[in-house]
Structure 1
Amino acid sequence: MKKSIFGLLLLVLFTTNTFSQNTDKQEVIQLSKQKWQWMADKNVDRLTPLFDDKSVFVHMGGSWGKTQEINVIKSGGIHYKKADVHEVSVNIIGNTAILLNKITLLAVVGGNEVTNPFIVMEVYIKDNDGWKLGSLSFTKLMTPGQ
């Protein structure tokens, strides 16, 4: 009888943890989709609370923190016009979510419209206020089909 109760308890705990991780994964995927749209819309009012104060952004032309990324988006220094997301994966480790997107990004950089294939890594940290973006890194693919 004790073994049955213990086994049932383990099953419930495992199922609850799996359900929680799947819910977190879907939440992070949806948040990432919203982020791409907010970036396209230059909606810094929505992006500012999403980006953690200590967040870092790695681009082909350099890396910087939250304030500079918000200013780049607001000024149009980089206008993320459209991110076509081809693949998404999420791994949850504790209160950290690592999301990988394979995208084709249409952007305006320095007044020139460019299209590039990227793998983008987004790192989200969950706290009492929900998920915050801690890092966004772009790695350009050599060919679109990679």
Structure 2
Amino acid sequence: MRTTIFSFLMLITMLKMANAQSTTTAAPTKSEQEVLDLSRKKWVWMADKNVDSLEKLFDAKAMFVHMGGSWGTERELNVIKSGGIHYKKAEVYSASVNIIGNTAILLNDIDLVAVLGSNEVINPFMVTEVYVKENGKWKMGSLTFSKLSRAVKLAVKPN
């Protein structure tokens, strides 16, 4: 009987410890926070069509993957500048970053309000951003939009 009670108490203790570990999140490091802040600025720059700031952020060899294709930095900047895709608003629900050496991999769970031609659309995406730190500055090397199967969370509906 003592063994059963002891085992039961150990099980409860282990479950509590496991739950405490899963709900505790460490504060981001200084480098992680830099990348998170840079990503937030990037969404604003994209919405504002601020290609000057984006050109400084995007590496010349960066790749951009969209639902309709993939291309390099020059075309992405031209698409933004021309309004071919207007990234009107990115509602970010969660963002996480992992740094491996001088490379940061950031994941954003977003609803993106975009205007394509004359059509406003809202899509849920997991956006993967890859940054490389060169000469003390983070440069974007890749931006990939992966459409999620979840429903749009954003309350605003397109026109």
Q: TM-score range by the shorter chain?
A: 0.7 to 0.9
Q: Normalised by the size of structure 1, how large is the TM-score?
A: 0.84
Alignment map for 1:1-146 (pairs within 5 Å): 22-144=29-151
Unaligned runs of 5+ in 2: 1-27, 154-159
User: Matched residue of 1:48: which SS?
Assistant: helix
State the Cα deviation string for residues 58-92 of structure 1 (Å, max 9, x = none): 00000000000000000000000000000111000
Q: What value does the CA root-mean-square deviation take over the aligned residues?
A: 1.4
Task: Measure the CA separation in 1 of the matches of 2:144 and 2:49.
Answer: 18
Q: Normalised by the size of structure 2, how large is the TM-score?
A: 0.77
Unaligned runs of 5+ in 1: 1-20
Provide the aligned length of Structure 1 versus Structure 2: 126
The percent of aligned pairs where both chains have the same amino acid is 65
Instruction: State the structure with more CA Rg.
Output: 2
Query: Which 4+ residue blocks in structure 1 deviate beyond 6 angstroms?
Result: none
Task: Measure the CA separation in 1 of the matches of 2:65 and 2:136.
Answer: 25
Task: Measure the CA separation in 1 of the matches of 2:82 and 2:149.
Answer: 29
User: Matched residue of 1:144: which SS?
Assistant: coil
